[in-house]
């Protein structure tokens, strides 16, 4: 064997043995994995739709830092930092010290951090503070009406023609910033935002976090039409957005299926649910849920209830990044993925979209029903449904209902003869005429004495 190869082999063996000696138990590994929450999306996923995962206007965090296409926004970050410092009147050193105190936790939040950031801690802190303050300024300018993060009179302290923070910027720039803010590769840890806000309020104790205040600002900006509820400590803005989509009013939660019924349904097979049009023809009616939560899908008494959903130009990117987060973050859950899987099953073409739109379930803001159908069909590529999810039970309930011949016969009767008042009158008239014919026949055969 080549002496150089032998030396390399010995060095490798020594390194592996050293790592083995320093290796902790499973609990140590678990704590290490728990720190990660922001990931690079694998190329096998991004290749299907690269634009959906790549920021177009601004970079937050290390993954897209220095992208030439995003550099134009960097000068706005510096200006936002100065406004931030001027408004809250706390020494800049306080923010630097506070972020330095959590810098290792911030680094560990990223799943695959370039080696240069481990070597350049000061550069990493600088990036975190600039990006964090810029994000907080975006949130404050877009959502704060009562001065939650400062004096009310200082809320509009930017120039009236500021390219980002003026009324013009809020109308034309903020929607694109929001889209980029909700991309998995473009996240900032909420710990960073909690800490920066804590310095503005508790300079002597930056660990005294006002978590719900920051959570509320993120939710109002990213999901303004969902009810604000306490969420506790969150991972990043995309995590908050996801939780807002899944929040259910405790008073409106659907009943939990019993285990025995769950087993009964599962035994009937794993067939895919038919399209909305086919379900309608099988006698299933569609209704809008009382909740906007994506978990608000239920089936009972031949009625399938679905939450209303707005479909616009940002929908595709949002759902793809939520699906990627659930796929990459262990313990995140699979509710969004299950919802998309279910919607793809019941939406095959424009007729299905039209049917759901007529019931107020789909609100179409992108144009044709065909485009909406194509969107849902594309979202479900390369995803897997958890067999233990609640929606899997709904799948099987619907399939079980469709398998009963009586339900389909009744549906055909209704669709054929009771589509309109005139059809109903015709049927009633035919029944009356038939009854009179029978009576006449009886009187003919058996004349009264």
Read off the pLDDT of residues 341-387 as tens digits, 9 standing for 90 and up: 999 999 999 999 999 999 999 999 988 999 999 999 999 887 876 77
- Identify whether residues 56 and 112 lie together within a single domain: yes
Range of the domain at 7: 3-33
Domain-located, residue 139: yes
Domain-located, residue 163: yes
- Identify whether residues 375 and 447 lie together within a single domain: no
- Identify whether residues 169 and 148 lie together within a single domain: yes
- Identify whether residues 60 and 93 lie together within a single domain: yes
Domain-located, residue 412: no
- Identify whether residues 51 and 159 lie together within a single domain: yes
Domain-located, residue 413: no
Number of Cβ atoms within 10 Å of the Cβ of 315: 17
Look up residue 325 and give its two tokens.
């987060």
* Structural domain ending residue among the three candidates 223, 246, 269: 246
For residue 157, the model assigns a pLDDT of 86
* Count: domains in the chain: 4
pTM, to two decimals: 0.83
Domain-located, residue 12: yes
Per-residue pLDDT band at 192 (split at 50, 70, 90)? very high
Closest by alpha carbon to 410, among 299, 280, 288, 306? 280
* Structural domain ending residue among the three candidates 246, 265, 293: 246
Question: How many residues does the structure list for the chain?
Answer: 449
Domain-located, residue 411: no
CA atoms within 13 A on the CB side of 399: 18
144 φ, ψ to 5°? -80, 120
- Identify whether residues 100 and 49 lie together within a single domain: yes
- Identify whether residues 127 and 258 lie together within a single domain: no
Tell me the three state secondary structure of residue 287.
strand
381 φ, ψ to 5°? -65, 130
- Identify whether residues 306 and 446 lie together within a single domain: no
Q: Where are the alpha helices (DSSP H) in 329-368?
A: 335-346, 350-358
CB 39 within 8 A of CB 33: no
CB 52 within 8 A of CB 323: no
Question: DSSP characters for 137-164?
Answer: HHHHHHH-SS-TTS-GGGTT-S-TT-TT
Look up residue 95 and give its two tokens.
């923010």
Q: Kindly report, residue by residue over 231-274, the tens digit of the pLDDT.
A: 889 999 999 999 999 988 766 555 544 333 343 333 444 466 78
- Identify whether residues 121 and 50 lie together within a single domain: yes
- Identify whether residues 18 and 63 lie together within a single domain: no
């Amino acid at each position: 064997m080549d002496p150089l190869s032998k030396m390399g082999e010995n060095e490798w063996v020594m390194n592996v043995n050293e790592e083995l000696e320093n290796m902790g138990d499973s609990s140590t590994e678990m704590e290490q994995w728990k720190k990660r929450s922001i990931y690079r999306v694998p190329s096998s996923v991004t290749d299907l739709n690269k634009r959906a995962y790549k920021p177009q206007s601004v970079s937050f965090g290390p993954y897209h830092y220095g992208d030439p296409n995003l550099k134009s926004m960097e000068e706005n970050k510096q200006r936002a930092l100065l406004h931030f410092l001027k408004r809250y009147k706390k020494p800049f050193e306080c923010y630097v010290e506070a972020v330095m105190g959590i810098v290792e936790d911030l680094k560990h939040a990223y799943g695959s951090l370039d080696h240069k950031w481990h070597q350049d801690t000061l550069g990493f802190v600088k990036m975190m503070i600039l990006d964090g303050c810029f994000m907080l300024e975006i949130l404050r300018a877009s959502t704060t009406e009562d001065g939650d993060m400062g004096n009310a009179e200082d809320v509009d302290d930017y120039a009236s023609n500021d390219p980002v923070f003026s009324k013009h910027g809020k109308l034309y720039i903020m929607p694109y910033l929001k889209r980029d803010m909700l991309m998995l590769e473009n996240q900032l840890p909420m710990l960073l935002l909690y800490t920066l806000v804590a310095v503005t309020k508790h300079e002597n104790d930056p660990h005294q976090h006002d978590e719900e205040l920051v959570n509320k600002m993120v939710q109002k900006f990213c999901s303004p039409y969902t009810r604000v509820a306490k969420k506790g400590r969150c991972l990043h803005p995309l995590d908050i957005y996801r939780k807002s989509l899944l929040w259910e009013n405790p008073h409106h939660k659907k009943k939990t299926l019993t285990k025995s019924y769950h087993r009964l349904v599962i035994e009937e097979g794993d067939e895919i649910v038919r399209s909305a049009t086919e379900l309608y023809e099988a006698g299933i009616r569609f209704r809008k849920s009382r909740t906007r939560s994506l978990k608000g899908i239920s089936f009972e008494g031949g009625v399938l209830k679905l939450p209303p959903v707005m479909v616009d130009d940002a929908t595709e990117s949002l759902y793809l990044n939520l699906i990627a987060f659930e796929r990459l973050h262990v313990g995140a859950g699979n509710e969004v993925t299950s919802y998309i899987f279910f919607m793809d099953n019941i939406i095959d073409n424009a007729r299905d979209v039209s049917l759901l739109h007529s019931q107020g379930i789909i609100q179409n803001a992108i144009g044709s029903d065909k485009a909406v159908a194509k969107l849902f069909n594309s979202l479900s590529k390369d995803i897997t449904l958890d067999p233990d999810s609640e929606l899997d039970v709904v799948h099987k309930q619907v399939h079980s209902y469709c398998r009963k011949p009586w339900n389909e016969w009744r549906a055909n009767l209704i669709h054929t003869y009771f589509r309109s008042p005139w059809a109903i009158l015709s049927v009633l008239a035919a029944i009356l005429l038939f009854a009179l014919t029978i009576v006449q026949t009886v009187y003919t055969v058996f004349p009264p004495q």
